[in-house]
Amino acid sequence: MTLDFIVGLPEIVLLAGACALMLADLYVKDVERRVSYAIAQAVLLVTAAATIFVLLGSGGELVYAFNKLYVADFMAHMLKLTAYGAVSLALVYSRQYLIDRGLMTGEFLTLLLFALLGMMVMMSANSFIAIYLGLELLSLCLYAMVALNRDSAASTEAAMKYFILGALASGMLLYGMSMLYGATGTLTITEVAKQLALLSKDSTQQTFLVFGLVFMVCGLAFKLGVAPFHMWIPDVYHGAPTAVTLVIGTAPKLAAFAMAMRLLVNGLLELAVDWQQMLSILAVLSMAIGNVTAIAQSNLKRMLAYSTIAHMGFMLLGLLSGVVGGNWRNAADAYGAAMFYTIVYVLMSVGSFGMLLLLSHKGFECEKLDDLKGLNRRNPWYAFLLLLIMFSLAGVPPTVGFYAKLMVLSAAVSAGMIWLAVVAVLFSLVGAYYYLRIVKLMYFDEPVIAAPVYVQPLGVRVLMSTNGLALLALGILPQPLMTLCLVAIKGL
């Protein structure tokens, strides 16, 4: 029993920290919430230390805890550490933005930490119930954060849409889970896998299982934000304050990826043939709708929202090429590719939304395409960083975005799905257009806004530069991250 609590230490630390922050914030009078902000960052740091402690203690081996409700493996640790990084960066980038708009409140910080807790539970879940609880904790925090700017009609509308559709998706997920529970008699994911292997392949059972699977994939697709379950993404990204968009668009993707791995790969690998077909339809639709629709957007946040849809579709290419004709030889490479893609996407997404935050200032939201015009004249360094981010999103070498695409394409080709690789490649060509348009606006056009860019504190600029240059550095030396992803997948 004590061991269980040690394995779950990161979540416990974060929960205690978040509660402490909630109480401490009551006594903070300062509008800028310096103390609360510092506490939040410190909690993240301590949680990261706890995670590393657990990781070193177990030697990266897989450990179950709490009657197999909870699993701690290398993938969970790695995704959690990435999520802490993303959340911490999100706080740094959005601090000034939130202060300027009077949104830097204890509620924001507390909700952010609780959302992170939800993600961590999802990443470490080994039971349908745990996954569902984590998901709801995350989602409820995010609904509230979207509506944080309560005087804004757009934010409220976005929050309502998000809530209603999110509730629907959770319902579908639960329905699917209940069917699988009915068929297998257990909620523990690893047990479900064992039961499925034992179940005879008679057709009635199979129909029942696939029926449950469809509902589960629908719920999953909603959380990942892939077409045709993507409708909420543009509205929420657009309506939420940019700081919240940054949060929604980054770390939760890691949690959604973890959820997909836990449910589909850990649990339902026996049904791979069925869910791979579903995912391939979702992938093609997402790449098509995301990339084509993004071209028509004049709002940067909406454009990035559609870009997210396209990227998640691309990521699915990795997930769906793991099992070929009952052969799992390809699995580690394919799922490793998907994980690499997700982590890289989060890094790029933090950078792109972070840049929008850095370019905004009091009374000005940088969210229209035209706001980027002539950025090279106003601040060449920011323009260069955003250029790196855009080329990385477009998948042009030598940035790391290229390797992310390469790995999933390679997985698809070695699974024999060359047509899918060609489709993906053609849509990424379409996608290249709107990323290039950003570069065009920054470099080729004359500035509309004459004022120089508001200068952020040195620390923020250093972090932003590191974030942008990391895309280049990882592109020149991608091996370490690839190895980590592969180790994580092999340790499942």
The least CB distance from residue 395 to another protein, in Å, is: 9
Please give the single-letter amino acid code of residue 130: A
Among candidates 132, 155, 128, 152, which has minimal Cα distance to 142?
155
**Minimum distance, C-beta of residue 473 to another protein, in the bound complex (Å):** 14
Bridge partners (DSSP) of residue 71 are 64
**Closest CB to another protein among residues 15, 396:** 396
Nearer to another protein, 232 or 402 (CB): 402
Smallest distance from the beta carbon of 422 to another protein, in angstroms?
6
Tokens coding 469: 């240059």
Q: Give one word for 15, left, alpha or beta, with left for phi > 0 and alpha for psi -120 to 50.
A: alpha
Token digits of residue 284: 């093609």
* Residues near another protein (CB under 8 A): 376, 380, 391, 396-398, 402-403, 406, 409-410, 413-414, 418, 421-422, 425-426, 428-429, 432-433, 436-437, 439-440, 443-445, 478-479, 482-483, 486
Tell whether the torsion through CA atoms of 152, 255, 310 and 304 is positive or negative.
Answer: positive
- The number of beta carbons lying within 10 Å of the beta carbon of residue 155 is 21
Distance CA 427, CA 456 (A): 37
Measured from the CB atom, the residue of 207 and 483 that comes closer to another protein is 483
At closest approach, how far in Å is the CB of 470 from another protein? 17
Q: Are strands 63-65 and 70-72 parallel, antiparallel or unpaired?
A: antiparallel
Smallest gap, in angstroms, from Cβ of residue 492 to another protein? 18
Residue 146, token pair as written in the block: 């979207």
Nearest residue (CB) to another protein, 3 versus 425: 425
Distance of CA 10 to the CA centre of its chain: 20
**What is the closest distance, in whole angstroms, from the C-beta atom of residue 421 to another protein in the complex?**
5
The nearest distance, CB 330 to another protein, in angstroms, is 10
Are residues 313 and 425 in contact, defined by beta-carbon separation less than 8 angstroms?
no
Query: Which residue, 155 or 297, has its beta carbon nearer to another protein?
Result: 297
Q: How many C-beta atoms surround the C-beta of residue 24 within 10 A?
A: 13
In the bound complex, what is the minimum distance in angstroms from residue 441's beta carbon to another protein?
10
- Contact, 76 vs 123, CB < 8 A? yes
Torsion of CA 231, 301, 223, 147, to 10 degrees: -90
- The span from the CA of 260 to the CA of 267, in Å, is 10
